[in-house]
Structure 1
Amino acid sequence: MTLRSPHLDIREAWLAQGCEEVLSPEQPIFDAHHHLWDRPGNRYRAAELMKDMSDGHDVRASLYVQCRTGYRGNGPDEMRPLGEIETILDWGHDTPNHPIGIVGFADLQLGDAVGPVLDALIEAGVGRLKGIRNTTAYHADPAVRSNPNPAPDGLLRCAAFRDGARAVASRNLSMDIWAYHTQLHEVHALAHALPDLTVILDHCGGPLGVGPYLRGDPEHFQQWRSALARLAELPNTRIKIGGFGLSVMGYDYADDPLPPHSSRMATDWAPWVETCLDLFGTRRVMFESNFPVDKGQFGYRALWNAFKRLSEPLTDDERHDVFWRSAARAYGVEEQLFWNDTGRTQS
C-alpha cells in the first residue's frame, strides 16, 4: 500500500517572500545530497534543480540519492532500479556535474546474490555510480515517518543485508544510510562488522523531534549525541549535515507567514551542527541540501547561507572540507572541479 508522502508541499510564492543577500558567493560547494523526480503534481527534474542551484551560490557539483525515480516497468524485480540510473543520466545529459555522482538502490536483502545487480548498476552508471542506499529508517510510532513507504523493522540487523553490504564494499562503493537516532546502534554494528565499507550517515544521523521525541529535549539530545559519538569512533564513517526540513526533525517553519531567514536557521541548528563537527571533524563532514524534500520549509539560498553562518568559526581549510572536499573524497569525485579561478583552493 502506498501512503501519502510525509514531505511538505513546495510553495514557490511563499518561498519568494524570503529576501537576503548571498553570503560568501566565492565559496565552492558540492551539494552532497539531493533528489530528482517527476510525480503527479510534484515535478523536480534537472531544470528545477538548476534554477535553485543558480540562485547565487557557487554550486560546482551535486550528488543524486535514490528515491525510486524512473524504475523499469518490467523485467526481474531486482533489476528494475536500473531504470533510476538510466532516467537520471537522461535528465542530466546537459548538466553533467548535476549530478556528478549517483547513489543508487539495490536490494541488499538479496545478500551475496546482489552482486550481479550491483555490477549492472555500475555498468549503467558509466562511472557515476558512487554508492548504494536502501530504505532503512524505521520507528514503531506512526508519528515518526519520513518515507511514503516506511521500512520494516530489522533490515540493518539482517544477516542477508550485511552480506549485501559486504558486496557493496567489495566493489569500492560507499553506503548511504538514513536511520533515526534510535537505530544508530544498529548502524554501528554494521559499520563495525564491515571496516572496508564507507558508511555515510544522512541527515545528521536522524535526531527525532516528533511523536514521543521533543526537539531540543536534553535527554533526547543526549541519546542522539551518545549514539553518534560511538559511530564517530569508527574511521569508516562519515556524516552529512542537513535534512532539517524533514518533518521528523520537528521544525515547523512552513507554518509561519514568511519563510525563515538564514540567521534564524543557523541559530536553531547550531547544537546539532556543532556536535557533528566536534565528533567527526571537518574531514568526515559534508553539507547537503536534501532538496526538494526540504524545500517545503526553506529556500536554497537561505539554506546555504545558514551553513555559511554556521561555518564562520572554521578556518578556510576546514570550510573547504565541509563545503566540498569531504564529499568529493568520500564519493571519488575529481577535486580539480572545485579549484578557484585564481588557483587551487587550500588542501
Structure 2
Amino acid sequence: MGSDRPLVAGEQLVAGEQLVAGKQLVIDGHQHFWDPADGSCGWMTEDYAAIRRVFSPDDLKPALAAAGVDKTILVQTWHSLDETLAFQETASRTDFVAGVVGWVDLTDPAVGATLSMLMARPDGRTLVGIRHLVHNEADPNWLLREDVQHGLAAVAEAGLAYDLLLKEPQIPAALQTVERHPNLRFVVDHIAKPRIAQHAMEPWARLMQGFKAHRDHVWCKLSGMVTEADWRHWKSQDLRPYVDAVLSIFGPSRCLFGSDWPVCLVAADYQSVKRALSDCLSGLTDEERSQIFGASAVEAYRLPIHS
C-alpha cells in the first residue's frame, strides 16, 4: 500500500462498510478501552482518578462523530492475552474499530503458535499489530533479549506490525532492533514520550534521529503529547517543536494521528487533541495532512481496503 493519496469513500476497511461519498477517511491510530475491575489499570495513580472507570465503544463513538473521525486502531493496555482476545471480539462487532494492536508474550518459545491461534479465529482479521509496555521494563535493553528478538521475528513472520512504546532510555535498543528486523513494520508510539512539560528537546531529539535511516519500515504516531505536556496549561505551541522534529525525521508519509483516548482526557478532550495536531500541521499540504490523518495508518497496519 505505497500510495500517498488520501483514502475516499467506496474504499473499504472491512467488507460491507461504506463511507459517505466523497469524504476522506480519517483514522485515529491509537485509542484504548478498559475496565478497571479486570486489573488492567494498575498504572493509574490518583492523578488519573478521573479516568479510572469503564471506557467502552459507546463512550468513544460520540467523540469520533464530533471530531470527524471514521475509524480507529484499538491498542492493548496491559500484558494480557485475555485482553487481546476480548479486543478482537470487540473490534469484530464495533463498526469504527478497524484493527487491534494486541499483546502476546514475546519471550514464549511458542509465540508463533499463539499468533497463529489469534489470527485463525473468526475475528482474526482484526489483529493488525502487537505491543508490549517496553518503557515499563526495568532493563532498558529488554528489546535486545534473545527471546524477545525471537518473538519479534515471529511477529514479522505473521505479517503484523509491532508498536514500540518507548521513553528516552529505551530508544537505543529500539534502534538496534529495527535495524535487525528490516522486514518488520514498526510503529513508534507517542513520539517516544519526550519531556514536553519541561520543554526538553535533548537527548530525545538526538536519539530519535537514528530512526531516519529506517523510515522505509518505521512509522511514528503523533500521539500522547498532551499528557507529556503540562496538563493544565499546555498549548499547541508547546507541542509544535516536537511535531516538527518528528516530521523532519520520518516525513509526513511515515507519521500518523493518534488520540490516545481516554488517557488524553486528563489533559484535553478528544476534539482538542485532534485540533492541536491540526494546528501543528498547518504548514503541510492537504495531501500530507490526509496522509497523517488516514493513509499512514492503513499502510503501517495493512488495513484491508479495496476500491
The TM-score range, normalised by the shorter chain, is 0.7 to 0.9
244, 252, 255: which one aligns with 2:225: 244
Question: What is the CA-CA distance between 1:85 and the residue it aligns to?
Answer: 3.5
- Tell me how far 1:222 sits from its aligned partner: 3.1
SS in 1 for 2:72: strand
Per-residue CA distance 1:9-49 (angstroms, 9 max, x = gap) = xxxxxxxxxxxxxxxxx764200001101224511011111
User: How many Å separate the matches in 2 of 1:203 and 1:317?
Assistant: 23
Match of 1:47 in 2: 58
Per-residue deviation, 1:318: 0.5
Distance in 2 between the 1:307 and 1:336 partners? 28
Secondary structure, counterpart of 1:36 in structure 2: coil
Equivalent of residue 172 in structure 1, options 159, 164, 170: 159
In 2, are the aligned partners of 1:29 and 1:58 still within 8 Å (CA)?
Answer: yes
TM-score, normalization by structure 2: 0.81
CA distance in 2, matches of 1:283, 1:93: 28
Q: Are 1:29 and 2:26 counterparts?
A: yes
* 1:226 maps onto 2:213 in alignment: no
SS in 2 for 1:43: coil
Contact preservation (8 Å) 2:92, 2:126: no
Shift of 1:90: 3.9
- In the alignment, structure 1 residue 59 sits paired with structure 2 residue 69: yes
Cα deviation for residue 336 of structure 1 reads 5.8
Deviations 1:197-229 (A, max 9, x none): 1111000122135xxxx7213xxx131111111
Query: What CA distance in whole angstroms lies between the structure 2 residues aligned with 1:92 and 1:130?
Result: 11
Alpha-carbon displacement from aligned partner over 1:292-329 (angstroms, at most 9, x marks no partner): 11111100111111111122111111011111111111
Aligned partner letter, 2:288? E
Separation of aligned partners in 1, 2:33 and 2:128:
17
CA deviations over 1:110-136 (Å, ceiling 9, x no partner): 2x4211111112123421100100111
Counterpart residue identity of residue 252, structure 1: W
Cα separation, 1, equivalents of 2:24 and 2:274: 10
Equivalent residue for 1:215?
198
Distance in structure 1 (CA, Å) of the matches to 2:106 and 2:231: 34
Stretches (4+) displaced over 3 A: 89-94, 334-337
Aligned length: 268
Residues 88, 124 of structure 2: 8 Å contact kept: no
Give the match for residue 129 of structure 2: 131
* Matches of 1:334 and 1:51, distance apart in 2: 25
CA distance in 1, matches of 2:148, 2:124: 26
Give the AA of the match of 2:120.
Answer: E
- Partners of 1:102 and 1:279 in 2: CA distance: 26
Answer with 1 or 2: which has the greater Rg. Answer: 1
Instruction: Tell whether the 8 Å contact from 1:245 to 1:295 is kept in structure 2 after alignment.
Output: no
List gaps (5 residues or longer) in structure 2.
1-22, 38-51
- Tell me if structure 2 keeps the 8 A contact 1:33–1:65: yes
Is residue 304 of structure 1 aligned with residue 274 of structure 2?
yes
Taking structure 1 as the reference length, the TM-score comes to 0.72
Tell me, in whole angstroms, the C-alpha distance in 1 between the residues paired with 2:242 and 2:84. Answer: 33
> Separation in 2 of the partners of 1:123 and 1:45?
25
Question: Partners in 2 of 1:96 and 1:187 — Cα distance?
Answer: 34
Q: Does 1:155 align with 2:135?
A: no
> Distance in 2 between the 1:48 and 1:164 partners?
34
Question: 1:67-109 CA deviation, whole Å, 9 max, x = no partner?
Answer: 139x5xxxxxxxxx0x323322444455323x11001101111
Q: What SS class does the counterpart of residue 244 from structure 1 fall into?
A: coil
The one-letter code of the counterpart of 1:189 is Q
| Equivalent position SS for 2:125 | coil
Quote the offset at 1:155 in angstroms.
Answer: 1.6
Number of the residue aligned with 1:206: 193
1:183 deviates by 1.5
Among 260, 277, 300, the residue aligned to 1:330:
300
Aligned to 2:4: none
Distance 1:86 1:164 in 2: 19
- Hey, what does 1:118 align to over in structure 2? 115
Question: Compared with structure 1, are the counterparts of its residues 244 and 50 closer, same or farther at alpha carbon in structure 2 (3 Å cutoff)?
Answer: same
Native 8 Å contact 2:91 2:126 kept in 1: no
Q: Which amino acid aligns with 1:163?
A: H
C-alpha separation in 1, matches of 2:89 and 2:179: 37
Shift in alpha-carbon separation, 1:250–1:268, aligned structure 2, 3 A? closer
The equivalent residue for 1:77 is: none
- Residue aligned with 1:44, SS: coil
